[in-house]
A and B are shown apart, each in its own frame.
Chain A
Amino acid sequence: MKNKINKTFFHNIGQPIMIVRLIVMILLLVITLIPILWGFSLAFRSNQEIVNMKGLDRYTFFPENPTVNNFIKLFSTVNIPRVFLLTLFVSLLVTVLSLILNSLAAYAFARIRFPFRKFLFALLLATLAVPVEILIIPLYPQIYKMGLMNSLSSLIIPFCANAFGIFFMRQFFLGVPKELEEAAMIDGCSRVRIFFAIMIPLAKAALITLGLHIFLQQWDSFLVPVTFISSESKMLLQVAINYIYSGLYFNNFGILYAGMVVATIPIIIVFLFLQRYYVAGISSTGIKG
């Protein structure tokens, strides 16, 4: 793998550029963080206080009377543990299943010469052009005809394999030195054995990266669950947040923000711990594009 020491082209420059750089950096930090901090603070304010936020003062980012009331009311409005568990279950299942299915297919494309390989690969490429937002319209009656309407399966099965995952893992497998497999094959190993015993362990980092990507995508997904699920008892996380908002005589802003905090904190924690995998993933898709 490449390992360039990155002395940037800013290296020998004078003061003016440094200042510009600093200003832009601070600007971007502010634009990124201010909304988040503000929203976060709203979760800890009573509805009365939120409605009274008229001007900028020292209470704009720190509540005057901080309260956890919103969180308490949140738990009585929405069954948070169930929503959480359902979302976790669906996200994990999709992640695990798609890692397996995508890797299998990816390995075949990378290393096995089988008929129609090029055609099937091109087909895969073509599916990138029809994301789920476009397909949701025919998918809806189709899911009904398959008897999966309003079931968690409708949120899981269609997403167990996708072109992006296959491409990603294929890139990885292409990069594995052929000698490893050739040696194993001379020893009499079957392809299946090679796959599970050699390829998968080698691919740990790539798998974690892809897995994280898919997990995040599932955790944040809204269009599909809101379309396929119609029972309150099967709501996923993002749908639940929308549900909080949707009470028409809406005056429970506080609960909404509390819900947003609760929905986001876990994923931020996961991200902070595994960020290097996530970042590596984005970088590699970019270059090979």
Chain B
Amino acid sequence: MSTNNSRKDCIEGFSFIAPAFLIIFIFVVYPAFRLFFLSFHDANIMGGIKFTGMGNYKALLHSRDFIRSFTVTLRFMVMVVVIQTILAFIAALIVQEGKRLSNFLRTIFFIPVIISFVVVGYLWQGIYNHDYGLINSFLSLIHIKRQGFLNDPSMALYALTATCIWKSWPYFMMIFLAGLQEIPKELYESAMLDGAGELRRLYSITIPMLRRTILFILLITTMDSVVKVFTPVFVMTSGGPRSETDLLVHYAWRMAFRLGDVGYASSIMVFVFVFLMIVSFVQLKIGERNEE
């Protein structure tokens, strides 16, 4: 009787998941293994594959381009994670009061998120433009020299960062908002009765209660900032002045699809994957320790 049931469960279970898992196995799991496999080979995009063991990885360590790209990616990641998260948090605090105002603000703030990165990229390229761009027009009004922004090696990465933050922060504001709503208001009220001030309430109640949300946001933001940056780089700078904006994902894409060096590009991607795993793991561990 129970074997019948579990057999039925078995058949039904597998048939329910079969279509989805078929797709996922073919287009996610298999390519993931293939990526790993390719990273140990010298492979050209037009065929031709040769085993080279750790060759690609050794080349990575000695490649100045790679080290530069990794450094730039790190800088970008840290800036985005810190600035974007703080911005999203502050905005959430401000937006949460008042039903209608809050809804209105939420809607307006959210627009950059739904605009595609291609459009955002060209839009900001225009804003940063040396001659007709909005920012330089403003600068020349207050008699400051026009800046190159995306064409200036010392500024390009920051300009790119600003654009990416502009597009993404409202998404995380929403997550914060949801988290804030979960906090029982009694906590605040009893704190206020105890005479706790504004910042004290923030520090002692809000932030601790948001721990899991913050961890979640940090994990996602970190991953997004490393992985989902291909489009803005491609559209705005092609890797940028002196490779200042040649983030790892774009660098790997160039290697694979411009120079046909698929094996090398795969090793870069494996590196990115391992790096993200380590960073996420560290974040989770710190998050766990804080829970005590």
The interface residues of chain B lying within 8 Å CB-to-CB of A122 are none
Check if A134 sits within 8 Å of B198, measured CB to CB.
Answer: no
Taking a contact as CB atoms under 8 Å apart, the answer to whether A263 and B17 are in contact is no
Q: State the Cβ distance, B149 to closest chain A Cβ, in Å.
A: 14
Interface residues of B in 233-292 (CB under 8 A from A): 234-235, 249, 252-253, 256-257, 262, 265-266, 269, 272-273, 276-277, 280
Asked if B227 is an interface residue, CB under 8 A from chain A, the answer is: yes
Interface residues of A in 64-113 (CB under 8 A from B): 100-102, 104-105, 107-109, 112-113
Main secondary structure of the interface of A (DSSP, over half): helix
* A245 B134 Cβ-Cβ under 8 A: no
Judge whether A133 and B23 touch: CB under 8 Å.
no
Q: Which of these, B34, B185, B253, B277, contacts A138 with CB under 8 Å?
A: B34
- CB contacts (< 8 Å) of A2 on chain B: these are 182
Q: How far is the CB of B122 from chain A (nearest CB, A)?
A: 6
Q: Which of A10, A56, A104, A107 has a CB less than 8 Å from the CB of B97? A: A10
**Interface size classification for chain A:** 35 or more
Task: Report the interface size class on chain B.
Answer: 35 or more
- Cβ B27 vs Cβ A113 within 8 A: no
Instruction: Report yes or no: A127 in contact with B29, Cβ–Cβ below 8 A.
Output: yes
Pairs across A and B, CB under 8 Å, 14 listed: A7-B188, A12-B192, A24-B90, A35-B127, A56-B138, A60-B134, A112-B16, A130-B28, A238-B117, A257-B126, A267-B116, A283-B174, A283-B178, A289-B175
Interface set of A (CB-CB < 8 Å, partner B): 2, 4-10, 12-13, 17, 21, 24-25, 28-29, 31-36, 38-39, 42, 50-56, 60, 100-102, 104-105, 107-109, 112-115, 117, 120, 123-124, 127, 129-131, 133-142, 157-163, 166, 191-192, 195, 216, 219-220, 222-223, 227, 237-238, 241-242, 245, 253, 256-257, 260, 263-264, 267-268, 271-272, 275, 279, 282-287, 289
Q: Top 3 A-B pairs ranked by shortest CB distance?
A: A114-B13, A283-B178, A286-B175
- B→A interface (CB under 8 Å): 6, 9-10, 12-14, 16-17, 19-21, 23-24, 26-32, 34-35, 38, 45, 90-91, 94-97, 105-112, 114-119, 122-124, 126-127, 131-132, 134, 137-138, 140-141, 166, 170-171, 174-182, 184-185, 188, 192, 198, 201-202, 205-206, 212-213, 215-217, 219-220, 223, 227-228, 230-231, 234-235, 249, 252-253, 256-257, 262, 265-266, 269, 272-273, 276-277, 280
